[in-house]
């Protein structure tokens, strides 16, 4: 008996599914590559080179972020306590949070989970401490030892909170990006960057549909804008 030919509709559906899956895979790879390139571009290095700061025009502050109770600084306190219980010499490497689907300026900075990375020189290991908005903690220790110590942050010079950094991002073009692309992903990270003496806030707005991206790097001690990167004209 000859096998029955497959219905054309089924063939079309399968072709469509394959094309859709291929497109989604390509898009996912793009997002990963974009974030990785940003991290690599600002990768901190142990260097005595003097800082090179771009000249960024100053804009008048317009926006404010109303969510000031759950921020990078407020959630850092329980995280720091947990890190000291883990290792007395634990030092902060980074602090970060993300908002996956921001629809409007009013949603910027809403309470979310904050993640803190610490390094212990004596243990030569990393600890990730996650702090929920209700202050519940989750600690994850990296089992493998670190051969090259990562740059750590001087927390005494961390004076600008995440809410202020997000407001600066809005002032310098983030609000316009959000107006054009509601539903974008917003990421904020306190970290060290190469050839810069102190900690900075890196605020990234990424639209996964249009592939638009807007990055503002802010001095975490003074609140001045160090640099701006954008994939579109604002």
The structure tokens listed for 53 are 């700061």
The structure tokens listed for 60 are 């008048």
Report pTM: 0.77
Task: Provide the pLDDT for residue 195.
Answer: 86
Task: Provide the pLDDT for residue 57.
Answer: 78
The structure tokens listed for 103 are 């629809």
Task: Provide the pLDDT for residue 173.
Answer: 93
Radius of gyration of the chain measured on its C-alpha atoms: 21
> What is the C-alpha separation between 166 and 106, in angstroms, rounded?
12
203-91-95 Cα angle (round to 5): 20
Non-local (6+) Cβ contacts of 184 within 8 A are: 101, 102, 177, 178, 205, 206, 207, 208, 212
Task: Provide the pLDDT for residue 26.
Answer: 39
Residues of the chain with pLDDT under 50: 2-37, 39-42, 44-53, 233-234
Task: Provide the pLDDT for residue 54.
Answer: 56
> Residue 200: beta bridge partners?
191, 219
> What is the C-alpha separation between 45 and 20, in angstroms, rounded?
41
The structure tokens listed for 171 are 């002032």
230-231-233 Cα angle (round to 5): 80
For 63-111, write each residue's pLDDT tens digit.
999 999 999 999 999 999 999 999 999 999 999 999 999 999 999 999 9
Strands (E), 44-197: 91-102, 114-120, 125-131, 137-141, 184-191
Contact 218, 203 (CB under 8 A): yes
Task: Provide the pLDDT for residue 208.
Answer: 81
> What is the C-alpha separation between 175 and 168, in angstroms, rounded?
10
């Amino acid at each position: 008996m000859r096998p029955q030919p497959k219905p054309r509709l089924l063939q079309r559906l399968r072709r469509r599914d394959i094309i859709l899956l291929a497109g989604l895979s390509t898009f996912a790879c793009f997002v990963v590559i974009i974030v990785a390139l940003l991290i690599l571009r600002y990768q901190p290095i142990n260097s005595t080179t003097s800082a090179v700061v771009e000249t960024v025009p100053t804009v008048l502050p317009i926006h404010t972020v109303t969510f000031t109770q759950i921020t990078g600084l407020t959630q850092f306190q329980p995280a720091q306590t947990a890190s000291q219980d883990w290792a007395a010499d634990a030092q902060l490497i980074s602090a970060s949070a993300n908002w996956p689907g921001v629809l409007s300026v009013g949603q910027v900075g809403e309470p979310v989970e904050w993640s803190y990375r610490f390094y212990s020189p004596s243990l030569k290991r990393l600890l990730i401490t996650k702090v929920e908005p209700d202050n519940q903690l989750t600690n994850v220790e990296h089992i493998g030892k670190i051969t090259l110590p990562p740059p750590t942050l001087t927390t005494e010079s961390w004076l600008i909170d995440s809410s202020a950094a997000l407001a600066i991002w809005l002032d310098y073009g983030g609000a316009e990006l959000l107006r054009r692309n509601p539903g974008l992903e917003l990421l904020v990270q306190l970290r060290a960057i190469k050839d810069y003496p102190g900690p900075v806030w890196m605020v990234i707005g990424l639209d996964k549909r249009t592939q638009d991206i807007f990055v503002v790097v802010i001095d975490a001690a003074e609140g001045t804008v160090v640099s701006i990167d954008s994939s579109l004209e604002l």
